[in-house]
Amino acid sequence: MTPDERRSLAALMPISFVDMIGFSMLLPLIPFYAEEFGASYWVIGVLIGTYALAELMTAPFWGRASDHLGRRRLILVGISVSAGAYVLFGFASSVLVLFVSRFVQGVGGGKVSAVQAYVADSVRPEVRAQAIGWHTAATSAGVIIGPAVGSWMAGIDRSAPGLFAAALCLTNAWAAWKWLPESKQSRATKKNAVLPACLRVVTHPLHPVCTPIIVYALGMMAFMAMNAMMALYLGQRFGVTETTIWPFYTYVASITMLCRLFVIGPIVRRLGEIRTLRLGAALLALGYLLIPLSFDVWSFAAAVLWIPVGTALLFPTTTALVSRRVDEQEVGATLGVQQAYGGVARLVGPLWSGLAFQQLGVDAPMWIAAAVMLLGFMVSFTIHRGNGQDSILEPIPS
């Protein structure tokens, strides 16, 4: 990347780093808090998926709005909405309030399409996968810190994690307002219909833009199915609690950060984006297959190692492929469509994961996630090198 491209990323990465600290402070605590309020495993799965429902409902419009109003403005609004969600979490005294908090948090999380479009604006297409990897390395660094801070604060006072995350979020919004410049984007000149574009992903699955979105959704569904039940899985298998769970998240996030900083760039240059995507899908499937075979904490650590490696290779390359195959004026809206499918995956994955955990046993979500990821791996072989720009915001010729 050129010095100008690195400077553009350097303005965004600290904002995303702090934003993820607040998010990851609460994520490991949600299942434990909900269980104390009397929620069943399936309800906990629904609770985790509520974030995705809100993101599904709003992400396409966040992306399209950022094409017209600018990325920076939408990022600021999203951070501020998240702060309100964290305040609700801090004062939650029932499962219902947790649901409301999680929904509002998902509305704020819809800004991810604007953030991804900001990254796409800032670098050339040929280094976009590496840039997305670097940016998500910053968010992974936030996950290294967040769970430890959240677990420590939960041991002091139940409301402390949510209120601290809200304060952190408001400080982050102020910093973004002061130091984050607007990205260098070509503003959209027309308003494309986003909902028909979402439907076109299903009706034209082999379209050069649609197939990577489908692989992204399958990968996200498997990942969120595992993630939704991970805290409870570790609790049942190894006696982990809300105050001792943070080392597991820190371990995974550390590997993710290192892979996205130092691994994805060389692998993409050597293999290309499409083969890197396939390798990531295969490694994710391998990790899900190995987790149920672990017999102690150390064997679990060896098995789960492949999850962050796989996500580091799969998700940035998928987003880079999608952003490269559309016109610059459609990047935000198209990534919003991708995030809508990611929202469906984040919603459906925890739902069936919680049900499988409750009805079929603690290992069932991992086996099903492996099957979903193997399907994604097979679908990835229908992705071919795209030539030119292939909009899905306009009707696709039959």
3 state DSSP class of 385: coil
Between residues 194 and 183, the one the model is more confident about: 183
pLDDT attached to residue 192: 57
Distance separating alpha carbons of residues 127 and 137, to the nearest angstrom = 15
DSSP of 224-285: HHHHHHHHHHHHHHH---TTT-HHHHHHHHHHHHHHHHHTHHHHHHHH-HHHHHHHHHHHHH
* Largest distance between two CA atoms of the chain: 61
Q: Identify the structural domains of the chain with CATH numbers, from first to last.
A: 3-176+193-382 (1.20.1250.20)
Distance separating alpha carbons of residues 105 and 282, to the nearest angstrom = 31
pLDDT attached to residue 241: 83
Is residue 155 scored above 70 in pLDDT?
yes
Digit-coded pLDDT (tens) for 276-308:
999 999 999 999 999 999 988 899 999 999 999
pLDDT attached to residue 317: 92
Alpha carbon 196 to its chain centroid, in Å, reads: 24
Name the amino acid, one letter, at 314: L
Is residue 189 scored above 60 in pLDDT?
no
Task: For residue 317, give every residue at least 6 positions away whose Cβ sits within 8 Å of its Cβ, in sequence order, or none.
Answer: 129, 264, 268, 273, 274, 276, 277, 280
Confidence of residue 116 (pLDDT cuts 50, 70, 90): confident
Distance separating alpha carbons of residues 303 and 294, to the nearest angstrom = 7
Q: For residue 385, how many C-alpha atoms fall within 13 Å in the half-sphere facing its CB?
A: 3
Alpha carbon 165 to its chain centroid, in Å, reads: 18
Confidence of residue 398 (pLDDT cuts 50, 70, 90): low
Whole-Å CA distances, 118 to 94, 98, 132, 150:
37, 31, 10, 29
As a whole number, the mean pLDDT across the chain is 87
pTM of the model: 0.75
Closest CA to 291 of 229, 219, 380, 220: 229
Task: For residue 151, give every residue at least 6 positions away whose Cβ sits within 8 Å of its Cβ, in sequence order, or none.
Answer: 28, 29, 242, 243, 244, 245, 246
Digit-coded pLDDT (tens) for 316-335:
899 889 888 888 778 777 88
Digit-coded pLDDT (tens) for 45-85:
889 888 878 877 887 778 778 888 888 888 999 999 999 99
